[in-house]
Amino acid sequence: MLEILAGVLGFIIIASLGWVFVGGEDSSTQALKRAEGMGVGRNISTRKTAAQANTPEARRKVIELQLKEAERRERKARMTMAAKLKHAGLAMKIRTFWIISGVLGTLAFLIPLVFGLNLLLAAGISIVFGLGLPRWVVGFIGKRRMKKFSSEFANAVDVIVRGIRSGLPVHDCFKIIGKEAPAPLGPEFRRLVENMSVGLTLPQSLDKMYERMPTPELKFFTIVIAIQQKTGGNLGEALSNLTTVLRARRMMAEKIKALSSEAMASAGIIGALPPVVMTLVFITTPAYMGLLFTDPRGQVMLLGAAIWMSAGVFVMKKMIAFKF
């Protein structure tokens, strides 16, 4: 009995050893295979994700996100008065601007009182010269500066395209534009090169440049550079296509300006007609128009007329200002 039991136990032990060394797997081996399987799954998932990212739909979504982010930055950049001073290229601080505005407003309030005008009319003139005029001047300078920048930007991109095709680095192309391009394009690219020289990356330097010059052309350029750095590709070809788009947009803008010139002329005539007629009547018959300036009721009427005329000019400007 003991011999039979010993034989059975010996068979079980030998069979177990054979299963372990030949057909069996320990927990570490199984864990290794599971890890390898998970790694293979991750590699397959990564390859699928990369393949999906290279599809036209994925690239379109990336471009839409870039456009939305750029539009959000543009709205934020245009809101504050400090940003408008940057757009105009003025080196003054925001505190200096408000001091100048306060001085102008105070003088515009005191001078009409000295000449005997109504207090309400003097307050209206003070608001116009203290708040409206300085902001309008800064906005006018900024728009003119951005217009000059946009008109020369396509030529600057052409310089970059030719430099890349001839083997020059992009940084050297920026230096050439900074030296050769007229203001404000040249100084802005010089500041771009300086920012890159102190350690900022190209996207960061372009973002700072966009804060100073929030134009659609620079926005498109920033998006092309960002997409090219993320996905790769031929930068020269991409920028060449960008110059074609920029010139097509400029031609469209000129066409829109030509088609809307009649509406702009009509709006200018309608807006200038009341002041011109009032001036002519005042020159021919000063006593007839003098009551509007000497009588308090006439002064209130003049203030109301100015407010209504301003509202009308604003509405007409919105009607003929086409966005594309």
What single-letter DSSP state applies at residue 116? Answer: T
pTM score, two decimals? 0.67
| 233 and 268 both lie in a single domain | no
Q: Does 271 map to a domain? A: yes
pLDDT, greater one: 75 or 270: 270
User: What is the distance between the alpha carbons of residues 81 and 98, in angstroms, rounded to a whole number?
Assistant: 10
Are residues 241 and 269 both part of a single domain?
no
127 is a domain residue: no
Is residue 49 in a domain? Answer: no
Task: Determine the residue type at 119.
Answer: L
Whether residues 248 and 158 fall in one domain: yes
* CATH classification at residue 167: 1.20.81.30
More confident residue, 270 or 73: 270
- Rounded mean pLDDT, 217-221: 91
Indicate if 183 and 223 belong to the same structural domain. Answer: yes
Domain containing 272 equals 260-324
Total domains in the fold of the chain: 2
Mean pLDDT of 111-139: 86
The reply to whether 309 and 212 lie within a common domain is no
Residue 81 φ then ψ, to 5°:
-70, -35
In this prediction, residue 39 carries a pLDDT of 47
Tell me the average pLDDT across 139-154.
92
Is the separation of the CB atoms in 205 and 192 below 8 Å? yes
The verdict on 224 and 265 lying in the same domain is no
Q: Are residues 235 and 306 in the same domain?
A: no
pLDDT tens digit string along 6-56?
444 444 444 443 443 444 444 444 444 444 444 444 454 445 554 555 677
Asked whether residue 68 is assigned to any structural domain, the reply reads: no
Q: Please check whether residue 52 lies inside any domain of the structure.
A: no
Alpha-carbon distance of 108 to 152, in angstroms, equals 40
